[in-house]
Amino acid sequence: MFYIFWNPLYAIAKTQGENITRVYRGSAMFLTIQWLLYPIVWLIGDTGMKVVSPFTTTVLFLIIPIVSKAGFGFFNLLKLRDLPAEDKPTPKPPHPYEPIHKFGPV
């Protein structure tokens, strides 16, 4: 995953302009740090070097996903909101003859 974030996807972001590159770099760094916390907690916890107690390990493993998921969503929304209007992604409108739903005839 780290290779994908920091190589092909980062190369694509760099083609989108400096503002998009900056937002992408921040998001990729946020995810990289968050994902590296899991093995660090495992290493210092009771399954590894036993630096922290089993209770602390459990609490950290409960907090990290909340910060990772909700924190990343909040971080991303704030960064995307700060983009200048010309850099904001715009959804592609559906083709006029393409059905909005894919469940068959109504």
State the sign of the Cα–Cα–Cα–Cα dihedral 14, 15, 20, 24.
negative
pLDDT over threshold 70, residue 88: no
Per the model's pLDDT, the better-predicted residue between 89 and 33 turns out to be 33
Residue-wise pLDDT for 15-37, tens only, equals 888 998 999 999 999 999 999 99
Domain-wise residue ranges, the chain: 2-83
Token pair listed for 88: 């904001």
Q: What is the reported pTM?
A: 0.71
Integer Cα distance of 31 and 63 in angstroms: 15
Look at the domain 2-83 and name its fold: Rhopdopsin 7-helix transmembrane proteins (1.20.1070)
Integer Cα distance of 39 and 33 in angstroms: 11
How much is the pLDDT for 1? Answer: 85
